[in-house]
Structure 1
């Protein structure tokens, strides 16, 4: 389970209205040249952290790469981060911190292992991960973050900063009116209205992937919005507490720990039977809807579920 706190609506939005933005971001990546990468990277020290990370994060998201030359994982992850962040053409920046030469930063952020990646926005760590990910998974994580940032600015237009030189403007809203209504309802914190809009769209077009993912994401947030992650983590130590296992998986999904969430529930399916097994199976299938159908985690999880069932 993630150790990062959830600072309000921005964190919860990561798995919702980012779907359309993610597709548009992919088109922008294809148009962006490799020269964009170097302009978006900065080496940060304890002396420059406030200026290069905290202050900068009030304008654009700062992707903080906490690395060490002693870590083989850092050697794999850091170049991939530079590539992926560079593709955003200035809409996010990469700040690299060598934890060996700047240990106070690692201590302040309670970094327990390297590599660790944190997204800093509006002065807060809003999400992150602590493992080596391939470029495509980093892109998915970053696309969802940028979608959440755009939602934050749509809900708070008075704090949107002017574009930095060379940065691309986010896409203008377009698309199905019910999809737009759902995204507006999410911005306003009305999850019931968002769910109703997604359901209207699905009634007209049952195959609409945006609506499926959005509705699944709304369900995730509604189920977890009053949860205490520390209490859930404590309860989940009891493998017989099915509700805690389901809620833990929901929290892991919202933290971007998709594979961990799926593996947790597949393990519960293996050790349960009857109504409990069916409850967990249905919950897991519902979580599948929160991801695009081409997501590689889905194929792996479906195979694991089939093996657990049969």
Structure 2
């Protein structure tokens, strides 16, 4: 950090052939973000035209909750490469992060050409569904209390899992849905299993939560 003179957050540095070649600190204007992306795209002759660093920078913004900056950066990337699935999905996720669910849905339903079938964009469909559920999730504390009083009530278990996921407790939400599946796998047309697959689809395939959850679910199905 000292060597690169990092003094504020967010700080983005791009490297080419092991050397820092561009970057910015703090919030910058859209024109500056576009200049950054254009610069990286022009470095070549890398197969991705240098856009990988720009995408990585935008993903960092997403992780840090800088959703507006991420939107501007992903948009600039898409101007350079309109069918970049990672950037398009990142743009959708940034809108989800801001709570712009209708805009996210519009981007998903109007995704052009091959983007509509890209795995990155497909994952955002599950994210949108979970985000809409989160908007109507009940209070976690109340649902925990209700579950303690009636631990075998499938609706309470399902609602608790929804509230847990809405509060970012994804692993606990998966565990709760697995408990529901074990209790009554056929309840509400197999709602527990369907919801588990929705959560898995919203995560990366190799996410430890996905791997562990799929193993437990399979062991129950084939027990």
With the length of structure 1 as denominator, give the TM-score of the two structures: 0.43
User: Is the Cα–Cα contact under 8 Å of residues 179 and 201 in structure 1 kept in the other structure?
Assistant: no
1:229 aligned residue (140, 147, 150): 140
Instruction: Specify the alignment match of 2:155 in structure 1.
Output: 243
With the length of structure 2 as denominator, give the TM-score of the two structures: 0.56
Structure 2 runs not aligned, ≥5 long: 11-24, 26-58, 79-83
Choose 1 or 2 for highest CA Rg. Answer: 2
Aligned equivalents of 2:208, 2:97: Cα separation in 1: 29
Cα shift readout 1:158-184 (whole Å, capped 9, x = no counterpart):
xxxxxxxxxxxx776443586476357
Q: Which has the higher contact order (CA 8 A, sep 6+)?
A: 1
The CA deviation at 1:217 is 1.7
Structure 1 runs not aligned, ≥5 long: 1-34, 41-58, 62-90, 92-142, 158-169
The CA deviation at 1:204 is 4.3
Larger helix fraction of residues: 2
Matches within 5 A, 1:189-228: 189-201=99-111, 204-205=114-115, 207-227=117-137, 228=139
Cα shift readout 1:68-94 (whole Å, capped 9, x = no counterpart):
xxxxxxxxxxxxxxxxxxxxxxx8xxx
Aligned equivalents of 1:305, 1:299: Cα separation in 2: 10
| Alpha-carbon RMSD | 4.1
The CA deviation at 1:292 is 0.8
User: Is the Cα–Cα contact under 8 Å of residues 223 and 247 in structure 1 kept in the other structure?
Assistant: no
Aligned equivalents of 1:203, 1:270: Cα separation in 2: 41
The CA deviation at 1:304 is 0.3
Distance 1:304 1:277, change over 3 A: farther
Aligned equivalents of 1:144, 1:270: Cα separation in 2: 38
For the pair 1:147 / 2:85, whether they are aligned, the reply is: no
For the pair 1:290 / 2:206, whether they are aligned, the reply is: no
Aligned equivalents of 1:187, 1:274: Cα separation in 2: 33
Distance 1:187 1:296, change over 3 A: closer
User: Is the Cα–Cα contact under 8 Å of residues 134 and 166 in structure 2 kept in the other structure?
Assistant: no
